[in-house]
Chain A
Amino acid sequence: MRKFALSKQTMNIARTQSSLISGSFLILLAILVFMLFGFGVEGEATFRLSRPSDPYALPNLVLPAESFIGIASLTIAFFGARLIVKAPKEYSVIFAISFFLAIATFLVWATAGKSFSLTGMLQATVVRAVPIALAAMAGIMCERVAVINIGIEGMMLAGAFAGAFFGSIFGSVLGLLIAIAVGGIFGLMLALLVVTFRVDQIIAGVAINILVLGLTSFFTSHLLKKNPHLNDTAVFKSIQIPILADLPIIGPMLFRHNIFVYLAILIVFSTTFYLFKTAYGLRARAVGEHPKAAETLGISVIKTRFINVIIGGMIAGFGGAWFTLGSVGRFDEGMTGGRGFIGLAAMIFGRWHPVGALLAALVFGFADSLQQKLAILRTPIPSEFLAMAPYIVTIIVVAGIVGSARPPQAIGKAYIKEN
């Protein structure tokens, strides 16, 4: 428990080594960026910031492609050299700026000689981040009480199906409520399996994924295909927030969405409030960190885990409903496309904090919307590669950052109440 500092000398050695590695990495990145994008680009990249119809229209952002790419790669290389030479403390900031520049370079290269709606992409980023953020919130609710929920993907798929099916019959509002309830039922099932029967948490989650995949695929081919009217639900319309929606860039990004986006943001902030400001949240976190300590203070570990996992399932069900009720209005097999898993990565990236996970979800949402918009620009990159973008970002993030994050201490362990 006692904490003490390492001798200064050893600290410096460790610092120098890591700054050498990260500095060289940035220089490599600069070379790579320049080699890939620096040759044979001509013309200007035009980024549209507003639509002409907007009340406060901004002029287009026009960048000369060749010089921008040159300057950007030089800057990244400079940062790399600085890291090697000086090992400054703020190197995560330097890293972030370098990555931003690398992505900007890529965009400028892809847009050179054409025009591209930046605001449109940012708007899509927010929309695409919604299911990922909600999956992450579901994950946080469960993992904060030390239950690993690999089954979020399945719970979302179940929510998507329930939303489409019941939405077609009873209308979208009731469909949404039933989707949430279905998510909650799968949450209850996970809780029963891992809390009561102490099944291995990973296996239980995988079982739920496979079960839902099988069930939805069965009902799709035997029910929805034959009765197309049962797979045709009304979609929630977008609600423009007065005044705010007219703001340039921010308006379309944040205030011209349907109810899913607004509720998702609300869920993120209420989860934060619940976990870190309320007594119930304190107890939930205690159960995730040191269940025995919670038990000795009269807190029921079992009950706390059940409640939080069920709420987590309901959030996942809500996130699943986005795919059908908030987006396309119909259910397709496997339509969640791994967003539940990416949500888990966002949760870890965000260090089990709802706001952190939301920001992480935006990173993934950005990658997702980028691939979608780039497909329109007709770059020489095959569209299959572009579609990989969100998953590649996931791998990089998980490999690079996750090692240092600290999960709740009791995670994955069943609690055995002795008596």
Chain B
Amino acid sequence: MKIELKEISKSFGPVAANTKINLSVSSGEVLGLLGENGAGKTTLMNILTGLYQPDSGQILIRDQERKFYNPRDAIKNGIGMVHQHFMLVPVFSVSENVILGNEPITNVNRINKKEAREEVLKISSKYNLDVDPDELVERLPVGVQQRVEIIKILFREAELLIFDEPTAVLTPQEVLDFFRIVSNLKKSGKAIIFITHKLHEVIQICDRINVLRRGEMVGEANPKKTSNSELAELMVGRSVNLKTKRPKINRGKVLLETKNLQVMSNKKEMGLSNINLKLHENEILGIAGVQGNGQTEFIEALTGLRKISSGEISYFDKRYTNLSPRKIHKMGIKHIPEDRQKQGLINEFSIIENVVLNTYYEDAFSNNISLNWNSAKSEAARVMKQFDVRASSETIPANNLSGGNQQKLVIGREMSRKINLLIASQPTRGVDVGSIEYIHSQIISARNAGIGILLNSTELEEIIALSDRIIVFFEGKIVAELSSNTDPQIIGMAMAGVVN
């Protein structure tokens, strides 16, 4: 089977998401689709799966034109997609999720649970996708949820499987599993499109690579002949420095210390138990771990957003426990929150307002009755200049900025004032390669200037590239403390809870 896209264009209002894109993929082939966030990869795939209709262009299957008015049409034509954010109903069982929309039924529309179960088991054994059909999806680890998504597509007899950023949420071990699954699928004659922004992954498993930039197809590469830097250049449109330089430096005195820290989580079943760590000046301490293993709770406890049940935190040898976020901020502990849209910025507020969001009460910006907009504006201009935030003016709302510029704005706000300790959570999530390069260099130079940095990231590569020391969180505990030149495999094992 051969699927072709010809001259596909799609725009949302004035923004062109896809411009005259051509692409083709055949059975038994893995096509890599590489591009930065916002390059139009997901839009293109949503067109192919019938969620969006293209403004112009054709979809050809076995050389015949097809029109997809809704996802059902695409499914009927053998196209299935595993979305970046899984499309699973958490409170449904695995088999319910698999059959949803194509249920085997008996009389009066009653679901044939037995048949559903058997179908799941059949696919699961045929493609080596181990999963319990009766388990609730919300109880499954992310890697298994992904298998459920794959079974869901195979149940609909898909010939083309599209994976959108499939490795973003997986541990290194789960990534290996996933690659094995992909090669199995390829062997059984499925066509596969693999969407990612991770360069080494496309080189590792794809047969051909297409690169998208700003909604246009800018090039095609052969994974056997290309290199990371060549692909990065295609993706970004200029040469990029992929290697972060981290000069050796002696760490200073202890800046932050936690002793037997215990924190309750939102659901009372989760928590954080007995966290002991020390962070020094001139040091980057990386927190590795799969999302949801207590990192968020830990950082919220440090920054005053979550109540500490027991244990203590000290900063410059002074205990601080359950202080308000403002007091903690005033002490020189700055926080880059993991979700810039929800916690870092107020999207509808202007850049100026966002820049003074946590300092507006200071004498420089306020006389206790009204705000001094002139000084706020010049502060915003200063942050924008110093941290390379690109925007037409200081008065535009934050949600008009690109992801990278939003993130630089948050980082600039936190790092441009008095700072001794930086708590950075997912500082480069969903940010383009150029901005990643810039943010990493800022973090390194802050460390060289004497600041202690606690870096929380689910991107293992980022942790390895930046950290002087790495601790691994698993199920609310620190399960390992490792040096930065540890084999990534070992860190990956620790992230899955396996420690020798």
The chain A residues found within 8 Å of chain B, CB to CB, are 1-7, 10, 14, 273, 277-280, 282-283, 285-286, 289-290, 292-300, 409, 418-419
Contacts and interface: CB of A to CB of B under 8 A. Distances in A.
B71 A297 contact: yes
Given A283-B100, A289-B92, A298-B101, A3 B269 contact: yes
22 contacts: A2-B142, A4-B476, A7-B273, A10-B264, A10-B273, A273-B110, A278-B109, A279-B110, A282-B100, A285-B89, A286-B92, A289-B89, A289-B90, A289-B91, A290-B87, A293-B87, A296-B49, A297-B72, A297-B75, A297-B87, A299-B101, A409-B90
B71 A296 contact: yes
A282 B476 contact: no
Given A289-B90, A298-B70, A419-B51, 17 more contacts: A1-B140, A1-B292, A10-B264, A10-B271, A10-B309, A278-B109, A278-B110, A278-B111, A279-B111, A286-B89, A286-B100, A290-B88, A293-B88, A296-B51, A297-B102, A418-B51, A419-B52
Interface in B47-93: 49, 51-53, 70-73, 75, 81, 83, 87-92
Contacts of B268: 6, 14
A296 B271 CA distance: 34
B94 to A, nearest CB: 13
B475 interface: yes
B108 interface: yes
Contacts of B139: 3
B497 to A, nearest CB: 10
Tell which of B52, B100, B102, B290 has the most Cβ of chain A within 10 Å: B100
Contacts of B89: 285-286, 289-290, 293
Nearest to B108: A278
A24 B140 CA distance: 39
B193 to A, nearest CB: 16
B270 A4 contact: yes
A404 to B, nearest CB: 11
Counting chain B CB atoms within 10 Å of each CB, the highest count among A279, A280, A289 belongs to A279
Nearest to A5: B269
A277 B110 contact: yes
Nearest to B111: A279
Interface string B258-284: 000010100011110100000000000
A296 B87 CA distance: 8
A6 B100 contact: no
Contacts of B71: 295-298
A269 to B, nearest CB: 13
B37 interface: no
B51 A290 contact: no
Contacts of A292: 87
B293 interface: yes
Nearest to A277: B110
Given A4-B269, A6-B270, A409-B90, A279 B264 contact: no
B459 to A, nearest CB: 18
A10 B262 CA distance: 9
B23 interface: no
A297 B108 contact: no
B271 to A, nearest CB: 5
A-B pairs with the 8 shortest C-beta distances? A298-B72, A297-B101, A293-B87, A279-B103, A278-B109, A4-B475, A298-B71, A289-B89
B49 A279 contact: no
A278 B138 CA distance: 22
A1 to B, nearest CB: 6
A283 to B, nearest CB: 7
Interface string B140-151: 111001000000
A418 B87 CA distance: 16
A95 B147 CA distance: 43
B96 interface: yes
A295 B51 contact: yes
B56 to A, nearest CB: 15
Nearest to B91: A289
B168 interface: no
A409 B141 CA distance: 20
A290 B145 CA distance: 15
A2 B497 CA distance: 12
Contacts of B364: none
Nearest to B50: A298
Contacts of B99: 282
Given A296-B51, A297-B100, A1 B138 contact: yes
Contacts of A277: 110-111
A419 B270 CA distance: 39
Contacts of B73: 298
B101 A283 contact: yes
A10 B71 CA distance: 47
B16 interface: no
A5 B290 CA distance: 17
A282 B111 contact: yes
Nearest to B70: A298
A105 B302 CA distance: 53
A1 B91 contact: no
Contact of B96 (A5, A282, A295, A298): A282
Given A278-B109, A279-B109, A6 B271 contact: yes
B242 interface: no
A302 to B, nearest CB: 11
B52 A279 contact: no
Nearest to A4: B475
Interface in B126-142: 138-142
A3 B101 contact: no
Contacts of B96: 282
A291 to B, nearest CB: 10
B190 to A, nearest CB: 19
Contacts of A279: 103, 105, 109-111
**B49, B70, B290 interface centre (most CB from chain A within 10 Å):** B70
Contacts of B475: 2, 4
A299 B270 CA distance: 35
Of B81, B89, B139, B262, most buried by chain A (CB within 10 Å of CB) is B89
Interface string B282-318: 0000000010110000000000000001000000000
Contacts of A418: 51-52
B90 A2 contact: no
Interface in B449-480: 475-476
A150 to B, nearest CB: 24
Contacts of B270: 3-4, 6
Contacts of A298: 70-73, 75, 101
A93 B366 CA distance: 58
A14 B70 CA distance: 50
Given A2-B475, A278-B108, A409-B90, A294 B269 contact: no
Contacts of B101: 283, 294, 297-299
A96 to B, nearest CB: 23
A211 B142 CA distance: 48
B76 to A, nearest CB: 8
A10 B267 CA distance: 13
Interface string B21-48: 0000000000000000000000000000
Contacts of B49: 296
Given A278-B108, A282-B100, A283-B101, A2 B290 contact: yes
Given A280-B109, A282-B96, A286-B89, A2 B292 contact: yes
A418 B17 CA distance: 14
A1 B105 contact: no
B45 to A, nearest CB: 11
